[in-house]
Structure 1
Amino acid sequence: MDEPQKSPELRTVNALERAEAVQRFLSEAARRARFSARARGAYQKSSFAERRGARAMRIAFLILAIVIVAIPNVAGALYYGVLASDQYVAEAKFTVSSAAIPKLDGLGSVTGLPQMMIFQDTMIIADYIQSRAMVEQLERQVDLRERYGAERIDWWARFDKSKSIEKFTDYWKKMTAATIGFPSGIVTLTIRAFSPADAKAIGDRVIADCEALVNELNERMRQDTVRASEQDLARAAKRLEVARVNLERARNAEGLIDVRQTSKSQSELISSIEHDLLKYQQEYLTQSRYVDESAPQMRVMKRRIEALEKQIVERKAEITKREAQGIDALARKTLSGKMTTFANLDLEHKIAESSYEIATASLDGARLLSERKLLYLHQIEAPALPEEARYPRRWLYFGVLFAISLALYGIIVGLIAFVRNHMA
C-alpha cells in the first residue's frame, strides 16, 4: 500500500523543529567555545552553587565596607565628636627693625644696618621660636611638658611626658608656627594649647624670650663694634709711634732738625758763593785791562776766584753726587738722598697721624652707638586670651576621613571585580 501522504502543515512543523534544534546546538557550541574550561565547569554546575558564589562575593564586599568605611568613620565620629580635646590658639605679630641712627664719619659700616641683615635677624628669631633652646627655656619657665602632657587631654593629642627632648621638640613644632610676611617682614606667631590660659601664657613667654634674644644680639653687636674699634685704634697708635721714632732717629743720625730748612740753607750758601764769584770775576776782568796779571793783587784775586769755584763745586757735589753703592747708600750720604729718606718718613708719619685720627673718631662713634639699641622687636599684636577653640576642625577632618575611606573601598572593590571578570 502506498504510504499516506503528509499534509503540508505537518511538513512545515517538522522543518521548524529541526531549525530550532540546530539553533540550540549552535548556541551551545558557541558558548562552550567562548568560555574557559574552568568557567564552563562552573556554568555546568547547579544553580545553587552559582548562587552560593555570588553570595560569598556579597559577604566579602560587606566585610570590606565594614572594615574600611564603617569602622573608621564610626571611630572618627566618636573621637572628633566626643573624645577630642579642644585646642585654643593664641596669635601674636611682631617685627624686627633697626634703629634710625645717623651715620658718623668713618663709621658707616657700623651704624648703617642693611636690609638683608634685618631679614637675617628676623629669620634667626623665627627659627629660634621652634628650636630646642626655646623648648628647654619654656620647660624651665612655664613647665611646658606638663601643659601638653596633662591627663585631661585626650590620648591621641597629648604628649607622652616620658619621651625625650628631641621628640618633645618635634611635638612643639607641630603646635606652633612662625611665618614671615613679605615684603613687610612681619612675623606671625601662633601657639596651640589645650586651654585658653595655657595658650596665652605660652605665647607671652615666647615673645619675652624673643625680646631677650634681640637684646642679646644687640649686646653682641655692641661688644664686637667697640672691640673692633679699640683694636683699630691700638694698631693706628702703634703705627704712629713707629713712624715718630723712625723720623726722630733719622733726624738725630744726620744732625738735622728739618731737611727742607737744611736744603734751603745749602742752596742759599751756594747762591751767595756764586754771587761773590761773579763779583770777583768782574773785578778781575776790569783790573786786567790796566794791571798786569803777574801783579800781586791780580794773583791774590785769581786764587780767590779759584777757591770760590772749588767751593761751589764741592757744595753742589754734596747735594747731587751719587755713590757707586747704589741709590739706597746714596740716599743716606747725600743731601738729595736725605731729602728722599726724610720725605718718605714724613709721609709715613702723616699717614699714621691720619689713621690715628680716623680710628679715634671710629671708637668715639662706636662708644656712642653702644649706648643705643641697633635692633628692636616691635610687638604689633600681643597674644590675647582665646575665647573659642579653633582645633580640631571636626567636620573638616571627619569629611576627609569619610572621603578617603570611601575612595579606598571603591578602589579595592573595583580591583576585585576586575580580577574576577578577567579570570571568568
Structure 2
Amino acid sequence: MDEPRRPTKVMAWIKRRSIFLGVVMFPTLIAAGYYGLIASPQYLSQAEFVVRGQASQTPGMLAGLLSPSGGGGSEDTYAVQDYVTSRDAAHLLIQTQDLKDVYDTPNADIIARFPNFYSGKTFEHFFSYYKKHVKAELDTTTGLSTLQVRTFNARDSQRIAKALLTAAEQLVNEMNARQRQNMISASLREREAAIARLKAVNNKIDSYRNQTVMIDPQRQSQPLLKDIAGLETMRMTTRVQLEQLRKSTPNSPLIPVLTRRMSALDLEISQSSKKVAGDDNNSFIPKISGYEDLIFQRQLIEREVSTADAALDAARIQADRQQLYLDEVTQPDLPDYAAYPRSIANIAIVFATMLSIYLMGALIIAGAREHKSV
C-alpha cells in the first residue's frame, strides 16, 4: 500500500518546490539581476536649513510645550517645505535648471529614468516622479528642515539642491514683502484718509476767505477794536471835561462844543461797534465764528494726521522686527558615492514580500483542503 503513495508525495514535493521557485526565487533573482547589473547609481545631496524670525522665536518653555509643533518649526517653515516639493518649484527647476534633462539622461537605466516605459510623459507624471526624488522633512525637536535631492549625477544633485534653497529664500523674501505690505497698508490708508480730510478743510478755509474777502477775520478785526477802544477813551475824557465845566462854569461856551464832540464820539463808537458785533452779515462776529470753526476742524484733523504718522512708523518698525530669514545650517553637499539604489535592502524586501505571499497562499490552500476533507 505504501508503494503507490510514494510517487504521489514526490510529485507534491516537486510541485511545491516549483511553486516556491516561481513565486519566491524567480522574482528575487530578477530583483538581484536588476539591482546588481542594471540599476544606475543615484547620488543624494543633502542640506539643512531653518526659517528664523523675531516673531517666531521661542517665547518660553511653557509656550514651547503648548505649541502644536512641540517647540520646533513654524507655519513659515512648513510653507517653505511645501514649496520646495510643490508644482511651482518643479516648474521653476524645469525652466532654470533643465530638470527634465537631469532625469532623462543616458546614465540612468530604463526603469529609474523619466520618462520610462511604464509611466506617462505629462507634467503630472513628472511631478509624481519629482516628489520621490526631492524631499523636505522637519525635525520638530531641533526645528531644522532637511532637504534631500536625488539624481543620477553627484553635481546635478548638488546643483538642484542649491537652486531649491535659492528659490526657497526668494519665497521667504516675497513672504516678508507681503507681510510688510499687509501690516503697513491699514496704517497707510488711515493716514491717507486723514490727509484727504485735511486737504478738504483747507479747501473750505480758502473758499471761506474768498467769500469773506479776508485772510484772518479775527486778526483783521484787531485794528477796529483798537480804534473803538481809542474812541471810548476819548469819549470818557470828553465826558469828564464836560461834567467839570457844568459844575464849575455852567455858562462856559465850551460846553456846547464838548456836547457836540460827545455826540460825534457816540455815533462813531456805535457805527464801529456795529461793524464788529452787528446783526448783518458784514459784521466781524459771524465771520470770526465761521473762520474759527474751520480752524478748529483743521487742528483736530492735523492731530489725526500726526497720530496716523506715528501709527505708520510703528507699523513699519513692527514689520521690520517680524522679518523672516532662511538660514542655511549646512550647504548642499557633493556626494562622494551613490546612496541609491540600496540593492541588498531592496532584494531582501522583494524576497520577504514574495515569501510572505507564498506562505499565505500555502496556508490558504492547506486550510481549504482540510475543510474539504472534513
TM score, norm. by length of structure 1: 0.58
Verify: 1:386 aligned to 2:327, yes or no.
no
Residues paired across the two proteins, number: 345
1:141 aligns with one of 55, 74, 96:
96
Contact 1:196 1:385 in 2 (8 A): yes
User: Which amino acid in 1 is paired with 2:132?
Assistant: K
- Report the alpha carbon displacement of residue 261 of structure 1 after superposing the two structures with TM: 9.8
Determine which of 34, 37, 41 is the counterpart of 1:82: 37
Residues 253 and 80 of structure 1: CA distance in aligned 2, closer, same or farther (over 3 Å): same
1:61 to 16, 20, 35: 16
Structure 1 residues 338 and 180 mapped into 2: Cα distance closer, same or farther (>3 Å)? farther
The amino acid of 1:175's aligned partner reads: H
2:117 is the alignment partner of 1:167: no
Residue equivalent to 1:203 = 161
SS in structure 1 of the partner of residue 150 of structure 2: strand
Matched ranges for 1:103-118 at <5 A: 114-115=55-56
Maintained 8 Å contact 1:135/1:169: yes
> Residue 49 of structure 2 aligns with which residue?
94
Asked which structure has the greater CA Rg, the reply is 1
Distance 1:207 1:114 in 2: 22
Task: State yes or no: 1:415 paired with 2:364.
Answer: yes
1:206 is displaced (CA, Å) by: 1.8
The answer on whether the counterparts of 2:56 and 2:74 sit within 8 Å (CA) in structure 1 is: yes
Query: In 1, are the aligned partners of 2:183 and 2:315 still within 8 Å (CA)?
Result: no
Superposed CA deviations along residues 239-296 of structure 1, whole A, max 9, x for unmatched, are: 112223445666887899989999xxxxxxxxxxxxxxxxxxxxxxxxxxxxxxxxxx
CA distance in 2, matches of 1:256, 1:205: 70
The amino acid of 2:195's aligned partner reads A
Query: In structure 2, what is the equivalent of residue 235 of structure 1?
Result: 193
Q: Which amino acid aligns with 1:404?
A: T
Q: What is the match of residue 231 of structure 2?
A: none
5+ long unaligned stretches in structure 1: 1-45, 99-112, 263-310, 320-331
| Aligned equivalent of 1:191, options 127, 130, 149 | 149
Kindly provide the amino acid, as one letter, of the partner of residue 88 in structure 1: Y
Q: State the match for 1:283 in structure 2.
A: none
1:114 counterpart SS class = helix
Three-state SS of the structure 2 residue aligned to 1:211 is helix
Output the CA distance in 1 between the equivalents of 2:104 and 2:185. Answer: 47
CA pair 412-247 structure 1, distance change in 2 beyond 3 A: same
1:217 and 1:73, CA in 2 relative to 1: closer, same or farther beyond 3 A? same
Establish whether residue 158 from structure 1 lines up as the match of residue 113 from structure 2: yes
CA distance in 1, matches of 2:334, 2:352: 35
* SS of 1:179 mapped into structure 2: strand
The offset of 1:176, in angstroms, is 1.0
Offset at residue 185 of structure 1 (A): 4.0
The Cα shift of 1:175 comes to: 0.3
Deviation at 1:416, TM superposition (A): 0.8
Shift of the alpha carbon at 1:233?
4.1
**What letter matches 2:127 in structure 1?**
T
Provide the secondary structure at the position in 2 that maps to 1:96. strand
Q: What one-letter code is carried by the residue in structure 2 that aligns with 1:203?
A: A
- State the partner residue of 2:26: 71
Aligned-residue offset at 1:96: 2.6
The secondary structure found in structure 2 opposite 1:391 is coil
Matched residue SS, 1:158: coil
- Provide structure 2 residue ranges, at least 5 long, that are not aligned to the other structure: 58-72, 221-269
Tell me, yes or no, if the aligned pair for 2:49 and 2:144 is still in contact at 8 Å: yes
Measure, in 2, the Cα distance between the counterparts of 1:337 and 1:180: 74
Structure-2 change in CA distance of 1:201 and 1:248 (3 Å)? closer
| Paired residue secondary structure (1:388) | coil
Over 3 Å counting, the alpha-carbon distance change for 1:194 and 1:226 in structure 2 is same
1:405 aligned to which of 351, 354, 362: 354
1:383–1:353: structure 2 CA closer, same or farther, 3 Å change rule? same
Per-residue deviation, 1:417: 1.1
Alignment-mate amino acid for residue 21 of structure 2: I
Which amino acid is 2:343 matched to?
R
Q: In structure 1, how many angstroms separate the alpha carbons of the residues matched to 2:180 and 2:151?
A: 38
**Shift of residue 383, structure 1, vs aligned partner:** 0.7
Using the TM superposition, give the Cα deviation of residue 207 of structure 1 relative to its aligned residue in structure 2, in angstroms.
1.9
TM-score normalised by the chain length of structure 2: 0.65
Structure 1 CA distance for aligned equivalents of residues 292 and 351 of structure 2? 92
User: 1:55 and 1:259 mapped to 2: Cα distance?
Assistant: 127
CA contact (8 A) 1:61 1:413 kept: no
Contact 1:240 1:356 in 2 (8 A): no
